[in-house]
Amino acid sequence: MPKSRSKKLKVFGEKQTQMKAFTKQYNLDLNKQEDLLTAVKYYDSL
């Protein structure tokens, strides 16, 4: 997994903008397993 936030968001491909907004809105830290899991679940729902 990439270390920087922007590189992690690039993993989400074409939905990167939506994921960036979601992680910012809910103040998710993608370095934390629980927050990353929340982000992935949201991504799967898109």
For residues 37 and 23, is the Cβ–Cβ distance under 8 A? no
Q: Is 23 exposed, middle or buried (0-12, 13-18, 19+ CB in 10 A)?
A: buried
Q: What is the pLDDT along the chain (46 residues), one digit of tens a residue?
A: 778 888 888 888 999 999 999 999 999 999 999 999 999 999 999 9
State pTM to two decimals.
Answer: 0.81
Domain housing 24: 5-45
For residues 38 and 26, is the Cβ–Cβ distance under 8 A? yes
> What is the radius of gyration, based on Cα positions, of the chain?
9
Domain count, the chain: 1
Rounded CA-CA distance 44/46 in Å is: 6
Per-residue pLDDT at 41:
96
